[in-house]
């Protein structure tokens, strides 16, 4: 089995101290390099970089998916079902304000998945999902 290369994502944030706290303390990411203008985080083996921006992130538009309003754009990661449940419990215990609370989407259909959406302090939408059967990740 080959592993996929890590992806890189750069996104803007309003406050680096608040961002650092959220990604390390709430999501459990480790911090890599940083400067006065950006911070690298290890996001489940992927490199995400929070860049300080003077612009405010506006409210994201939404698309309907499975009867829910999914924010566009958003980013996230696909975890194992066990990892997803542990994180869902942790976020719930920490009173994270979910856009879409943890639930199973597309129940008994191709692509059945656990999902949850929430925002970071700079209004960036994040989705964390999991599949009981990872072969369903790209199912039609």
Do 98 and 78 fall into the same domain? yes
pLDDT given at position 44: 95
Q: Does the pTM exceed 0.85? A: yes
pLDDT given at position 4: 84
**Predicted confidence (pLDDT) per residue in 88-117, tens digit:** 999 999 999 999 999 999 888 888 899 999
For residues 110 and 140, what is the distance between their CA atoms, to the nearest angstrom? 6
Nearest to 109 by CA among 130, 80, 140: 140
At 56, is the secondary structure helix, strand, or coil?
coil
pLDDT given at position 21: 98
- Number of domains present in the structure of the chain: 2
Do 35 and 75 fall into the same domain? no
**Predicted confidence (pLDDT) per residue in 42-87, tens digit:** 999 999 999 999 776 667 789 998 889 999 999 999 999 999 999 9
Contacts of 6 by beta carbon, 8 Å cutoff, 6+ apart: 45, 46, 47
pLDDT given at position 99: 95
Do 79 and 122 fall into the same domain? yes
Do 74 and 91 fall into the same domain? yes
Do 79 and 135 fall into the same domain? yes
Do 74 and 135 fall into the same domain? yes
The continuous run of DSSP H or E covering 98 comes out as strand 98-105
Range of the domain at 126: 63-140
Residue 19: CATH number of its domain = 3.10.180.10
């Amino acid at each position: 089995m080959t592993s996929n290369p890590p992806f890189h994502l750069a996104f803007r944030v309003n406050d680096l101290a608040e961002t650092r706290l959220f990604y390390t303390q709430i999501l459990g990411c480790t911090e890599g390099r940083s400067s006065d203008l950006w911070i690298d985080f290890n996001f489940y083996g992927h490199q995400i970089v929070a860049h300080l921006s003077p612009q405010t992130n506006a409210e994201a538009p939404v698309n309907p998916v499975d009867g829910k309003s999914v924010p566009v754009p958003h980013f996230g990661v696909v975890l194992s079902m066990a990892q997803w449940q542990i994180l869902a419990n942790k976020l719930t215990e920490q009173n994270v304000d979910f856009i879409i609370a943890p639930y199973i989407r597309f129940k008994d259909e191709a692509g059945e998945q656990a999902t949850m959406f929430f925002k970071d302090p700079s209004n960036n939408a994040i989705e964390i999902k999991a599949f009981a059967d990872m072969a369903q990740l790209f199912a039609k």
